[in-house]
Structure 1
Amino acid sequence: MAKSIRSRWKRKCRAIKRERYAVKELARLKKMLGVKDEEKPAGSEVMESEQVIFLDAGDLKKSKKVLEDIEKDNEDVEMSSDDENVVVDSEGGKKRVFNTKTLKDQNGQYPVWLHKRKIAKINKDGKKKQKKRIKKRKK
Structure 2
Amino acid sequence: MAKSIRSKRRRKMRAVKREQFGKKELERLKGVVERAKAAEDVEMKEMFTEKTAAQLKEQNKDGEKMDTSKASRNYNPKTLKNEHGNFPVWMSQRKVKKVKKMQKKKAKAKAKKK
Same fold at TM > 0.5: no
Give the number of the structure whose residues are more often helix, by fraction.
Answer: 2
Q: Give the TM-score range, shorter chain.
A: 0.3 to 0.5
Higher strand share: 1
